[in-house]
């Protein structure tokens, strides 16, 4: 679709984001990639760091071999650093890590050690650089995301409803909430680009109710829009029933069952997108190999429900769905934050 001949504005975009991360010539910078990382983004990172006069080197590790059984396209966490203790130590000693792994280090088991070493990590999502350049961080989004995080941390309950029949409650006490605006400039922190999203990882037994997915909602693990209704019944975090007569329901039932793991049915995280620059039609405009769907996770006003691993509830699994829903209402206690899919300003 799009040529991967280097465009100057792609380099400009990487340079701008690294500058927001306060990369300087006095720092040690590592570009982390794996076998199947997008080569053009590795090259763009090198060119941008060179423009900034940064000292950098690369660590490239093998992508994890596919296991027999389910086809894992989105586990929710990079597996690239498994068994790579020397690489982890090197990353922990760096000042800045450009994370170009396929899944990103956000929930990888090794990330805590790297951050405790003082490194700041920027995960550049595995997107085509044209999409990354469109989704440059917005300083105004940072303030909005930080305010949303404060609301989540002070709330007792999140409720999500829709005219289609969605009615979900999430007990927020003890939940771990993070907000991402697209860059990080503080030691021991991690962010991803594109940003503009707030997500909460509820403690065990906190999620109850029903989700009714409608045509036009998104299944980012399958990189497709829903074209038929699917209903999740959820009790004590776990999807107990997947209803629907169309292809979407059949694919989801079969895929979840293929893991033979109860945790694949569990709630991973909940949240909403806050990036006004994200485009709803993006999934239709890129080949599946050219997109990771991060833009749709950050789409302003979507309710993001995800299944799979939640380390804050002590649940781990390779099964993972990211499922942005359109047209929902989201409230924290008595305060509405999204109404009919629109952010409340």
Chain segment 95-115, per-residue pLDDT in tens = 999 999 998 898 788 999 999
Mean pLDDT across the chain: 94
Place 2 in a pLDDT band, splitting at 50, 70 and 90: very low
- Greater confidence (139 vs 172) lies with 172
pLDDT of residue 253: 97
Q: Domains of the chain by range and CATH? A: 8-134 (3.40.50.2300), 139-181+195-343 (no CATH)
Q: Is pLDDT of 158 > 70? A: yes
Place 76 in a pLDDT band, splitting at 50, 70 and 90: low
Locate all alpha helices (DSSP H) within the chain, ordered by sequence: 8-20, 39-51, 85-92, 111-116, 129-134, 139-154, 247-258, 282-285, 294-297
How far from 200 is each of 148, 240, 306, 327, CA to CA, in Å?
11, 21, 10, 20
* Segment 130-149 mean pLDDT: 95
**Residue pLDDT, tens place only, 24-47:** 999 999 999 999 999 999 999 999
Place 19 in a pLDDT band, splitting at 50, 70 and 90: very high
H-run or E-run covering 213:
strand 207-213
How far from 327 is each of 171, 180, 338, 343, CA to CA, in Å?
22, 22, 9, 11
219 - beta bridge partners? 224
pLDDT of residue 202: 98
Q: Is pLDDT of 131 > 50? A: yes
Place 281 in a pLDDT band, splitting at 50, 70 and 90: very high
Q: Which of 226, 230, 220 is nearest to 296 (CA)?
A: 220
Q: Is pLDDT of 231 > 80? A: yes
Q: Which of 139, 142, 37, 145 is nearest to 98 (CA)?
A: 37
* Segment 281-298 mean pLDDT: 92
Q: Distance between the two ends of the chain, CA-based, in angstroms?
A: 37
287 within 8 A of 293, measured Cβ to Cβ: no
Q: Is pLDDT of 75 > 70? A: no
pLDDT of residue 1: 42
Give the C-alpha separation, 171 to 157, whole Å. 5
3-state DSSP assignment of residue 8: helix
pLDDT of residue 77: 66
Place 298 in a pLDDT band, splitting at 50, 70 and 90: very high
pLDDT of residue 31: 98
* Segment 146-172 mean pLDDT: 98
Place of tokens 């995800």: 306
Question: pLDDT exceeding 70 applies to what percent of the chain?
Answer: 97
207 - beta bridge partners? 170
Any idea what the Cα angle at residue 197 is, between residues 278 and 166, rounded to 5°? 90
Residue burial 308-337, b: 16+ Cβ < 10 Å; e: rest: bbbebbebbbbbbbbbbbbbbbbbbeeeeb
- Residue 299 tokens, joined: 């789409």
- Greater confidence (228 vs 106) lies with 228
pLDDT of residue 345: 74
3-state DSSP assignment of residue 305: strand
Q: Is pLDDT of 209 > 70? A: yes
* Segment 265-289 mean pLDDT: 95
pLDDT of residue 67: 67
Q: Sort 232 into a burial class: Cβ within 10 Å, 0-12 / 13-18 / 19+.
A: buried
């Amino acid at each position: 679709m799009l040529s991967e001949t280097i465009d100057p504005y792609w380099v400009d975009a990487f340079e701008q984001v690294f500058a927001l991360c306060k990369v300087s010539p006095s720092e040690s910078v590592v570009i982390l990639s794996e076998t199947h990382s997008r080569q053009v983004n590795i090259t763009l990172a090198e060119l941008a760091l060179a423009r900034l006069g940064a000292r950098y080197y690369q660590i490239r590790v093998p992508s994890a071999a596919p296991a027999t059984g389910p086809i894992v396209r989105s586990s929710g966490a990079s597996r690239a650093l498994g068994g790579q203790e020397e690489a982890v130590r090197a990353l922990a000693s760096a000042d800045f890590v450009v994370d170009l792994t396929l899944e990103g280090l956000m929930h990888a088991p090794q990330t805590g050690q790297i951050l405790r070493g003082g490194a700041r990590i920027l995960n550049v999502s595995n997107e085509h650089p044209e999409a990354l350049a469109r989704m440059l961080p917005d300083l105004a989004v940072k303030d909005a995301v930080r305010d949303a995080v404060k609301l989540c941390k002070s709330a007792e309950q999140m409720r999500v409803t829709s005219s289609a029949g969605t009615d979900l409650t999430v007990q927020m006490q003890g939940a771990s909430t993070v907000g991402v605006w697209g860059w990080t400039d503080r030691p021991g922190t991690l962010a991803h680009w594109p940003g503009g999203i707030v997500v909460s990882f509820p403690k065990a037994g906190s999620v109850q109710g029903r989700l009714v997915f409608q045509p036009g909602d998104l299944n980012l693990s399958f990189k497709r829009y829903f074209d038929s209704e699917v209903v999740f019944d959820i009790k004590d975090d776990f999807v107990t029933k997947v209803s629907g007569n169309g292809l979407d329901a059949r694919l989801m039932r079969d895929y979840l069952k293929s893991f033979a793991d109860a945790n694949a049915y569990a709630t991973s995280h909940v949240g909403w997108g806050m990036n006004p620059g994200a485009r709803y039609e993006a999934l239709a405009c890129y080949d599946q190999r050219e997109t990771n769907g991060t833009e749709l996770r950050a789409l302003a006003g979507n309710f993001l429900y995800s299944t799979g691993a939640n380390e804050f509830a002590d649940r781990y699994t390779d099964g993972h769905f990211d499922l942005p829903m359109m047209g929902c209402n989201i409230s924290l206690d008595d305060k509405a934050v999204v109404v009919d899919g629109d952010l409340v300003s």
